Amino acid sequence: MQTAFITGASSGIGRATAVALAKSGFQLVVTGRRRERLEELALELSGTPVHILTFDVRDRTAVEEAVASLPTQFAAVDVLINNAGNAHGLAPVQDGDPADWDAMLDGNVKGLLYVSRAVLPAMTRRQVGHIINIGSVAGSEAYANGNVYCASKAAVSMLTKTMRLDLLPHNIRVAEVNPGAVETEFSNVRFKGDEARAEQVYNGFEPLRPEDVADVIQFMVTRPPHVNVAEVLLFPTAQGAATTIRKQ
């Protein structure tokens, strides 16, 4: 049985991916900051072996200790889904909050590096593995007030490409999924709990659901070993570009 390690599995894309991969026969390491949600997920997936790790990807020591604590059954990770990330604020750069900048760069970029660095030794030792980084259309299309978030996702895109080159000699597949508008807790976090403002983001069109992204990830990780679906841009039908959406 293959092992999938999913960050940010307590909600949204991460949670939906855990459900999809459990159905595909993977055993799971699910991680996040909200243990109670991870426990609910494990309960829902009864019948699938699930190991819970609680940590913040921005805390390098916590990441290293958590991965080192994996029991033997889960220690040989076959698939790593770097999903944890965040967006904070939507302000022009001159008015941006440095605390928001730190949260995005630490979570979206450094967190991805910390988790990958902790998981990779077991993959390189076995000369097999698959890493999927969750990016965003914002990594390739700038939009007003997106500054640091766009920059962090552009970094994810470039890291994916360079990781693929670095890990090529070790037979490790590296890929990226770049969603457009997905209705998750993303906007609630970005707007700091302002639910009315968050709801406006998805009004007037049908956005992607987390399950739509999870379906794509499930397809990617179940391809034959000689196939790497290296990059996917995923939009709802109503979206043509980062900020171009047809609304009713």
Of 32, 187, 57, the closest CA to residue 109 belongs to 57
Angle between helices 12-23 and 35-44 (to 10 degrees): 30
Task: Report d(CA 228, CA 98) in Å as an integer.
Answer: 38
β-strands 172-179, 231-234 pairing: parallel
Contact 212, 182 (CB under 8 A): yes
Contact 172, 129 (CB under 8 A): yes
Task: Report d(CA 195, CA 192) in Å as an integer.
Answer: 8
C-alpha 143, offset from chain centre: 21
Residue-by-residue DSSP string for 69-102: T--HHHHS-SEEEE----------GGG--HHHHH
Residue 244, number of CB atoms within 10 A of its CB: 12
Among the listed residues 114, 143, 149, 202, the single catalytic one is 149
Q: Is residue 143 flagged as an active site residue?
A: no
Alpha helices, H only, 32-167 = 35-44, 60-68, 72-75, 98-104, 111-126, 147-167
- Backbone conformation region of residue 47, classed left if phi is above 0, alpha if psi is from -120 to 50, else beta: left
Q: Which residues are marked as active site?
A: 149
